[in-house]
Chains A and B, each alone.
Chain A
Amino acid sequence: MRKGEGEWTQLMRSANSGDGAAYHRLLLAITPVLRATAQRGLARAGQPTDQCEDIVQEILLAVHLKRHTWDPSAPFGPWLFAIARNKLIDALRKRGRRVFVDIDDFAETLPAEPAREQLPAADINAHIEKLPQRQREVLQSIAVESASIRETAAKLAMSEGAVRVALHRGLANLAAKLRRD
């Protein structure tokens, strides 16, 4: 097993037992690796890498919404790269190319790739605009203004439960919209 992946597995196990900080750390740890993976995948398919961050965000959303399909007794890395590969192929297909990406291509990229510069993401912002108002406000508050669930609830005069529901629905909606376009 590659260095780093063992740590991911540990973090995800902690996350599953309710450790939210571990989950946040895991997502931050995999993001640069996913970015390198997406850039490399795009480059290999002869595509410009300017939409790389859109793919990274789509992978992260899929990781989040499908994390219950990871088997905690297995290492986290192969699961993650199967998801990433799937999203990358989808993204390339949307650009009108039929591509076959070997999963080993991803394996090679790890872990030595330096964290690359983050490019702006365009797709997600267009879709946030189209979300129902409550979901948009909650996402804005938590993501952009980095408010907590409780602070967001107070600010928007909602219950914490309603904020949680709006947040989750907003994220699920975003994932669905990104998948469709």
Chain B
Amino acid sequence: MDTNELVRSLAADHGWRARPVGMVLAVALVVALPVTAAMFIMALGLRPDFMAATGRAFFILKFIVTAALALACLALALRLVQPGAPVRNASWLLAVPVGLLAAGIVADLALPQTSGWTARLIGSNARVCLTAIPLLSLPPLIALLIGLRRGAATRPMLTGALAGLGAGAIAATFYASHCADDSPLFVATWYTIAWALVALIGALAGRWVLRF
């Protein structure tokens, strides 16, 4: 088949249209989130003092940070699967969760505390955190990769890593309501290690799944 013939067949296929990436992504997430929620309820559940904790600033900060991170990753990943779309001028979005967490750490260190900073950093849930976040992130990671696959990722590894980080942030939003460690020092240490792991998985998967 020469190129003119190929062009003719492409033109004949013009009636076919793909659904927008954002829509596919949204549908996939709507399917994946209940799975993560079910995993969370069966394996972990809310912490016993959940209602009392909702009045504490550092507890609330965990959700703000994870939600901001998830949204930033989603927005950036959606741009990355749109060739030619400016990505760099949206990368400040990632600074929002980082800045919030940094501000939290400053406040945590400045305020009088009942335990030392190393104790707060090490916390009591590190192992659960490192297991739960990667596992809970698998359904949203799969959903994000399915959605992003509909796009055109010119940088598949980076896009996959952002999908992993975003999925990790979604998982952490659930996990944060179980974890009794609210110190931003704990979040910045252990959540970040868990996120790095999921981002790595996402990058490796993206390399295969997101090429077009």
* Size bin of chain B's contact surface: 20 to 34
B211-A179 in contact (CB<8A): yes
Q: Given A24-B7, A143-B1, A143-B6, A66 and B152 touching (CB < 8 A)?
A: yes
Is the pair A53, B3 in contact by a Cβ cutoff of 8 Å? Answer: yes
The 7 closest A-B pairs by CB, nearest first: A82-B83, A78-B84, A24-B11, A143-B5, A66-B152, A143-B9, A79-B84
Question: Chain A interface mostly helix, strand, loop or mixed?
Answer: helix
Residues of B within 8 A of A61 (CB): 6, 10
Q: Name A's B-contacting residues (CB within 8 A).
A: 15, 20, 23-24, 27-28, 31, 35, 53, 56-57, 60-62, 64-66, 68-71, 74, 78-83, 85-86, 90, 118, 120-121, 124-125, 128, 139, 142-144, 146, 148-149, 164, 167-168, 171, 179
- What is the number of contacts between chain A and chain B, taking CB atoms within 8 Å? 119
Tell yes or no: B151 within 8 A of A by CB: yes
Q: Are B7 and A60 in contact (CB under 8 A)?
A: yes
**Listed A/B pairs (16) with beta-carbon separation below 8 Å:** A20-B15, A31-B7, A65-B212, A66-B83, A68-B17, A69-B81, A69-B83, A70-B84, A80-B84, A83-B83, A86-B212, A118-B3, A143-B5, A146-B5, A164-B15, A171-B9
B14 within 8 A of A: yes
The residue that A118 contacts in the complex, of B2, B9, B152, with Cβ under 8 A, is: B2
In terms of DSSP, what is the predominant structure of the interface of chain B? loop
B111 within 8 A of partner (CB): no
Query: Are A60 and B3 in contact, with the CB atoms below 8 A?
Result: yes
In the complex, which of the residues B8, B17, B154 contacts A143, with contact meaning CB atoms closer than 8 Å?
A: B8
Residue of B nearest to A74 (CB): B84
A64-B13, A82-B83 given; name 5 further pairs at CB < 8 Å: A31-B3, A61-B10, A71-B82, A86-B83, A179-B212
Q: Which residues of A have CB within 8 Å of B4?
A: 28, 31, 118
**Which residues of chain A have C-beta atoms less than 8 A from B154's C-beta?**
82-83, 85-86
Residue in chain A with minimal CB distance to B10: A64
Q: Residue of B at shortest CB range from A35?
A: B3
Instruction: Say how far A56's CB is from chain B's closest CB, in angstroms.
Output: 6
B12 near A167: Cβ-Cβ < 8 Å: yes
Q: Does B110 contact A (CB under 8 A)?
A: no
- Contact, CB under 8 Å: B1 / A69: no
Contact of B18 among A24, A68, A85 (CB under 8 A): A68
Most chain A beta-carbon neighbours within 10 Å: one of B21, B81, B85: B85
A28 / chain B contacts, CB cutoff of 8 Å: 4, 7
Q: Separation in Å of the A141 CB from the closest CB of chain B?
A: 9
Check B3–A69 contact: CB distance below 8 A.
Answer: no
